[in-house]
Chains A and B, each alone.
Chain A
């Protein structure tokens, strides 16, 4: 992965009348990385993404893609594939016609059959878009985004509505594109996808970028958690813990291994069973919940 930025966003603001959707957003996406822009509903990530794609004019601030304004379509779009959040295909065109049309308009060169095969839509190629299922439309959308193997690909909630097999296939294709140097900008509500695949994550809330970093950078700021149910009566716990009315215990720790060892030893010494015992490092979900709360 190179440190050369493909996307540079500096103090971006997007307003709709009185509503301030994106506030002073600054970040950059480096060549070859998968950058996930995550956020709560209404966090402003789609507004930010659409401005970076060139669909919206910033109220203030600058956005550069490959050193150009994203609104300079002739310079930028042949190098950029976009998978929109909603399909946007004409229902009366067939799958093949849709891919051929959008592919041609991107000014990239590819084989329509190859692309249809890539997203497992070969057997649907003669069908009208109106006859496709929601998942098939997402795959068609993905097909037009990766047509001609662009250098930069925007994936706006790419796996929403896809079954497990289609998700796996989509991510396998994304992995292959990344091996060839593609840069990916992702938004998703499936945090495990971002946790598994993103090189860096930006967390947006109420229009601003609250945190940014690798998964480990984001999660290390929060303690790991040990959870179990405590049978009554029980001796005093060896660690500081929160116990709710149902005797569910939560222990937060920055030293998971050491404290887990203390707990298990205490349980053994006191002959206490710890039903529903769970212990693990902080997940992205926890960071996300902290953000939204």
Chain B
């Protein structure tokens, strides 16, 4: 797994397009939100900013990059090449996705630390970490499922749009309007309960046990995405 991960990291830093979409654009958007935190806190809350930052990185930095990477490696038969070695399928996927996942985690940690420094600290750091890990896991699962429907890196620009725009929109909707009305719908949408969890972790005021219940829909999406990935994921281009 680690030799594959190391080679992926090299490729990310050699490919300017990937570097821009997976690192620079998400960071630039997040810096904007952190700099304008007073404005956005007035619209929603600091927890809303934390959620938007998290989903921007998770959607553009992790999800879209992961789909593009998997489609690209499949298209140029690199996945097939890796499968002709002694490495198992799970290790191959873990190796391919580890660098973008670690980069996303580092980005989220750095940006949320910056938000804590310029604004105020989160109420429950442990809960925030759990929320971040659940969110990133959900996005990895969705990436594997979407990669099964994506024929090429160019095609990924289309196939990733529904999820990237969808989760950011859901995060904004939940972050700005809360979950007092349409509670079930907002919590069941992908990213809805994760956004509420992040907001609870940052803003406080909600019992931890109540917040932890919000993990269920997020992990439910992980299960759905994994089931879809198992059915849809392909190792070789269609014949």
- Specify which chain A residues have a CB less than 8 angstroms from the CB of B80 in the assembled complex: 55, 84, 88
- Specify which chain B residues have a CB less than 8 angstroms from the CB of A84 in the assembled complex: 77, 80-81, 84
B85 touches A16 (CB 8 A): no
Q: Which of B6-14, B32-40, B176-184, B205-213 contacts A (4 or more CB under 8 A)?
A: B6-14
Binding site for B on A (CB under 8 A): 16, 53-55, 73-74, 77-78, 82, 84, 86-93, 97, 101-102, 104-107, 128, 144
Residue of B nearest to A78 (CB): B86
B4 touches A92 (CB 8 A): no
Q: How far is the CB of A39 from chain B (nearest CB, A)?
A: 17
B85 touches A88 (CB 8 A): no
B86 touches A88 (CB 8 A): no
Binding site for A on B (CB under 8 A): 3-4, 7, 10-11, 14-15, 73, 76-78, 80-88, 236, 239
Interface centre among A73, A88, A107, A144 (most CB of B within 10 A): A88
Interface centre among B15, B76, B84, B87 (most CB of A within 10 A): B84
CA distance A93 to B77 in the complex (A): 14
B73 touches A55 (CB 8 A): no
- Specify which chain B residues have a CB less than 8 angstroms from the CB of A88 in the assembled complex: 76-78, 80-81
A104 touches B3 (CB 8 A): yes
Q: Given A16-B239, A101-B7, verify A89-B81 contact (CB < 8 Å).
A: yes
A53 touches B84 (CB 8 A): yes
Total residue contacts A-B, CB cutoff 8 A:
70
- Specify which chain A residues have a CB less than 8 angstroms from the CB of B77 in the assembled complex: 84, 86-88
Minimum-distance CB pairs A-B, first 8? A88-B77, A88-B81, A105-B85, A77-B86, A82-B84, A92-B11, A107-B86, A92-B14
Q: List 14 A-B contacts (CB under 8 A).
A: A54-B83, A55-B83, A55-B84, A55-B236, A73-B86, A73-B88, A74-B86, A88-B76, A88-B78, A91-B76, A92-B14, A93-B10, A102-B82, A105-B87
B76 touches A90 (CB 8 A): yes
Q: How far is the CB of B3 from chain A (nearest CB, A)?
A: 5
- Specify which chain B residues have a CB less than 8 angstroms from the CB of A107 in the assembled complex: 85-86
Selected from A82, A90, A144, the residue in CB contact (under 8 A) with B11 is A90
A102 touches B76 (CB 8 A): no
Q: How far is the CB of B73 from chain A (nearest CB, A)?
A: 7
Q: How far is the CB of A150 from chain B (nearest CB, A)?
A: 11
- Specify which chain A residues have a CB less than 8 angstroms from the CB of B83 in the assembled complex: 54-55, 73
A106 touches B85 (CB 8 A): yes
Q: How far is the CB of A140 from chain B (nearest CB, A)?
A: 11
B15 touches A102 (CB 8 A): no
Q: How far is the CB of B22 from chain A (nearest CB, A)?
A: 14
CA distance A55 to B4 in the complex (A): 19
Q: How far is the CB of A49 from chain B (nearest CB, A)?
A: 12
CA distance A101 to B81 in the complex (A): 11
- Specify which chain B residues have a CB less than 8 angstroms from the CB of A73 in the assembled complex: 83, 85-88
Residue of A nearest to B236 (CB): A55
B84 touches A77 (CB 8 A): yes
